[in-house]
Structure 1
């Protein structure tokens, strides 16, 4: 039995299963003229997304405050495909960061104000994440009836690179999180980087990344992955200001937390900060330079 807990629109609802688990169900007219407590016809269910953890339930309600349900269900579908088709495990916070990203891109495309991301091309180092990104672009285009630029493949791939991990494992240590945020915000303030209306989404995304950086420290998940030395050099050459601030954050976190961070974190910081300050690349052939190791 699928019992309706909350109706979002005629095609989407939150339901409770017999074992008291909750899930989002989607199907054309699936809850038309129904109400809370009614049963959903299982034959009308086109897609179902299980909320397996308390974190995933909290994330759902957090998202629904500001993001349309069609964006949210599209995000859940992308994550579901990543997990089931590609066997890719992600931390629950990807639902927040990816929904926020997709909604932002959707609004910019609708307003004819889209600008291609300057995230470097890393498809050689992260083939699975890029395959997920390509599938995600297809899902977004089908569900939301917009054509995403090809550059969105690398932007979405970055979300999965950042969020790889075991679902439900991202439990935050509040005292450490506060310390990390204080350290980073002090350095940002010293460099005159403040949260504004224009950069708010990027600023908040950096804060979310920092929260789960704490969790990666707790799990001793500080291994270096496939970022190459040439990629690091290319980013530093192309975005010197962002790289300087990122290094300051990286060094201060290691010193004040008495922890060893992965070199990947420094590169994530460069990308996040570049988005915050919109630093233009010194080398206009940024992707080509990275791919060729220049």
Structure 2
């Protein structure tokens, strides 16, 4: 393995044939220069870069990140992939490590921050929150600290953003605010308070989340017969009107047109929610 760039004493960017990777190990970057050959006995972890990965971005990000945080971040991403059945990009390892570095710094300065949407995120993303709690325990075990449970919310948000396929323009916080707005619209329309601890609500929010992602990415697939839409519209008129209210709101906000199949599934979920 030939050194491309020394990142710090413990992290270097190398190439092995045509493959670029970031390798870590205690002292692996000490007095190391481009063109040097890495002693593989010192390599503790390898992060293989894909062709479209921006190596310079990782070099900049990793200069100040302690090696132990990079290690625990890799373990957390592997755990999250197993728990959520999703393959995350390598970028998540580094962005989480960078976030952990900031979290540890805040903790040592007694700067405790709670996310303003923490309650809603717990309701809307229970699987990711559960993984976030496991990840926080792993982080605390690795650092010997006792970072408060609120940190699990921020970890979950990184996981949601990385698995949702959204651009930077539409992050998890934006998505959560839109879902809160839609729930409030339904409560105002029917003059009710929706019980957010029911299975129907969980299913509605799950469907709503992926509906919004499809609309934001302009992924349109309309495979529902008109006759079926007419039947649902006639059988559940109030729920269908609510679905149209939601799709009109999304069209106004994002300029994304919702096809009949989206309205139909929203209608069915809203009907279950109100039953």
Question: What TM-score does the superposition give when structure 2 sets the normalisation length?
Answer: 0.52
- Deviation per residue, 1:183-206 (Å, 9 max, x gap): x9xxxxxxxxxxxxxxxxxxxxxx
Q: Secondary structure of 1:106's partner?
A: helix
Aligned residues: CA RMSD: 4.3
Confirm or deny: 8 A CA contact 1:121 1:154 kept in the other structure.
no
Equivalent residue number for residue 258 of structure 1: 255
The runs of 5 or more residues in structure 2 that have no matched partner are: 175-211, 222-246, 259-275
Q: Cα–Cα, structure 1 residues 29 and 97, in superposed 2: closer, same or farther, change >3 Å?
A: closer
Q: SS of 1:14's equivalent?
A: strand
State the Cα deviation string for residues 208-259 of structure 1 (Å, max 9, x = none): xxxxx9998336299xxxxxxxxxxxxxxxxxxxxxxxxxxx9877326421
Q: Where in structure 1 are there 5+ consecutive unaligned residues?
A: 185-212, 223-249, 262-294
What corresponds to 2:86 in structure 1? 88
The residue aligned with 1:153 is 152
Q: 1:115 to 1:257 in 2, by over 3 A?
A: closer
Q: 2-side partners of 1:147 and 1:124: how far apart?
A: 24
Question: How far off is 1:52 after superposition?
Answer: 1.9
- Answer 1 or 2: higher relative contact order, Cα 8 Å, separation at least 6: 1
Structure ID, larger Rg? 2
Question: Once the 2 structures are TM-superposed, how far is the Cα of residue 99 of structure 1 from its aligned partner?
Answer: 4.7
1:93 and 1:31, CA in 2 relative to 1: closer, same or farther beyond 3 A?
closer
Q: State the Cα distance separating 1:160 from its structure 2 match.
A: 0.8
Greater helix share, structure number: 2
8 Å CA contact 1:22, 1:50 repeated in 2: yes
Structure 1 residue 24: Cα displacement: 1.6
Q: Which residue of 2 aligns with 1:47?
A: 45
1:21 to 19, 22, 43: 19
Give runs of aligned pairs for residues 230-241 of structure 1, distance below 5 A: none
Number of equivalences: 192
TM-score normalised according to structure 1 size: 0.49
Q: How far does residue 111 in structure 1 lie from its aligned partner after superposition? A: 0.9
